Structure formats: C-alpha cells, structure tokens
Amino acid sequence: MPKDIEKKIKEALDEVRPHLQMDGGDVEFVSFDPSSGELKVRLQGACHGCPMSAMTLQNGIGMVVKEKVPEVKELIAV
C-alpha cells in the first residue's frame, strides 16, 4: 500500500479523534486494502461496544475519512 494513502488516512483519523476522546473513546488504524478500498479500524474505550458505535463509524468517522481520502470506499470495525 502506498505510504501516502496510509498517512492521509491516519491524518483524517487524527482529525476525528478529539471528538471521540471527549466521550471516552478512540479509534485505531488497523489496515487498508487499496484494491477493495476497505479500511479496517478498531474502536476503543467507550466506543468499543457502544450501541451508537455503528452510527459513529459510518456517519462520523466514515464521512471525514472518505472526504479526505477518496480511495477509502468502506469502513469496517474489527
């Protein structure tokens, strides 16, 4: 995977991280598959197991990451 894509993904995650941390959560980059556009992240802290985590993942984290890194087509929490 090109390092510049991974760097852009991590920068986008850093952008949303403070919002998650305000609620006691966090997000961690796990992997990105450039052939499928699939980004795997790990939700941590209060986000892990939260009933709203799917919405946070798609509507919060996903919107920011996909806007900043068009190569990302899908976000998956692992």
**Phi/psi at 24 (5° precision):** 85, 15
Place of tokens 């961690």: 28
Q: Is the CB of residue 67 less than 8 Å from the CB of residue 22?
A: no
Domains of the chain: 3-77 (3.30.300.130)
32-45 pLDDT per residue, tens: 999 999 999 999 98
Q: Is the CB of residue 10 less than 8 Å from the CB of residue 27?
A: no
Rounded-to-integer distance, Cα 18 and Cα 21, Å: 5
Rounded to two decimals, what is the model's pTM? 0.88
3-37 pLDDT per residue, tens: 799 999 999 999 999 989 998 999 999 999 999 99
Q: Is the CB of residue 66 less than 8 Å from the CB of residue 72?
A: yes
Instruction: State the burial class of residue 49 (Cβ atoms within 10 Å of its Cβ: 0-12, 13-18, 19+).
Output: exposed
